[in-house]
């Protein structure tokens, strides 16, 4: 294969420009063409007929090379089109988890407000502004979530985060070969945020506090360290949704 690369270098081509299964045949044809050019320019004395033979052979080889290059281009085009198709499917698999996760934050924000807000929190109305983080400081994990069957917010959020984690991991497992490196990195970072870990620890923390009659606030986001968790998580989520919007401009998700 090193010799193949050397032959391609002589003709100003990279071996990456030709499909792996076609590299050796193309290299052999190029090498044979070089020999024919040499024989044509410097034929042995008394064998001038070789010019006609080498010229005919060289013409045939050029025709074969052009055919191979055309086939290589068609295969590359079809492969790229198929990869783009699968890549779009992969990004579309992220849409529902994104929207569900955004609805979770919207519900948490609304649950922390005693009076009706003067704006409608939604995916396209600036959910993650400074007012959002101020309101999250009032969010109480020990209250009941507005879901059926009835459960505490802590339990509900934990389940939603596990579901979100599972959805992202499924996309990685199935489509990592088709996603760009930035998207893969953001998904991995989002899965591993302190927020995702902490949300799954809160139900146990509340249960232990209740069992031992420990006094303490269940408004965890009022502490700067925990508020930092959600800020980091939302920053990565926003960047990942931006990648989604870039790759699917006809089906964007608005969060800002």
**88 and 117 assigned to the same domain:** yes
For tokens 């045939």, the residue is 60
In this structure, are 180 and 212 located in the same domain? yes
Name the CA radius of gyration of the chain, rounded: 31
Q: Which domain holds residue 158?
A: 82-247
194-211 helix and 224-247 helix, angle to the nearest 10 degrees:
140
In a domain, 256, yes or no: no
Whether 68 and 89 map to the same domain: the answer is no
pTM of the model: 0.75
Q: Is the pLDDT of residue 23 over 60?
A: yes
Question: pLDDT tens across 154-192, in order?
Answer: 999 999 999 999 999 999 999 999 999 999 999 999 999
58 shares a domain with 112 = no
How confident is the model over 126-149, as pLDDT tens digits?
678 888 898 899 999 999 999 988
Number of domains in the chain: 2
Percent of the chain whose pLDDT exceeds 90? 50
- Residue 12: which region, alpha, beta or left (left: phi > 0; alpha: psi -120 to 50)? left
């Amino acid at each position: 294969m090193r010799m193949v690369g050397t032959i391609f270098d002589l003709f100003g081509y990279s071996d990456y420009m030709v499909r792996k299964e076609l590299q050796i045949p193309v290299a052999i044809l190029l090498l044979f063409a070089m020999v024919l050019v040499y024989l044509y320019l410097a034929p042995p004395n008394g064998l001038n007929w070789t010019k006609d033979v080498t010229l005919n052979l060289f013409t045939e080889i050029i025709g074969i090379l052009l055919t191979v290059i055309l086939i290589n281009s068609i295969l590359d085009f079809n492969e790229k089109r198929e990869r783009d198709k699968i890549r779009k499917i992969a990004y579309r698999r992220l849409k529902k988890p994104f929207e569900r996760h955004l609805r979770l934050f919207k519900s948490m924000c609304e649950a922390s407000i005693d009076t009706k807000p003067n704006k409608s929190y939604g995916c396209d109305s600036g959910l993650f502004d400074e007012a959002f983080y101020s309101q999250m400081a009032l969010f109480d994990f020990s209250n009941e979530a507005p879901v059926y069957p009835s459960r505490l917010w802590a339990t509900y959020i934990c389940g939603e985060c596990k579901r979100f984690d599972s959805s992202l991991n499924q996309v990685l497992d199935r489509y990592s070969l088709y996603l760009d490196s930035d998207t893969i990195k953001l998904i991995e970072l989002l899965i591993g945020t302190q927020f995702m870990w902490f949300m799954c620890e809160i139900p146990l923390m509340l249960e232990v506090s209740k069992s031992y009659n420990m006094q303490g606030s269940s408004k965890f986001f009022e502490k700067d360290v925990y508020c930092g968790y959600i800020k980091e998580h939302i920053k990565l989520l926003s960047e990942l949704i931006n990648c989604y919007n870039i790759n699917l401009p006809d089906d964007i998700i608005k969060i800002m």
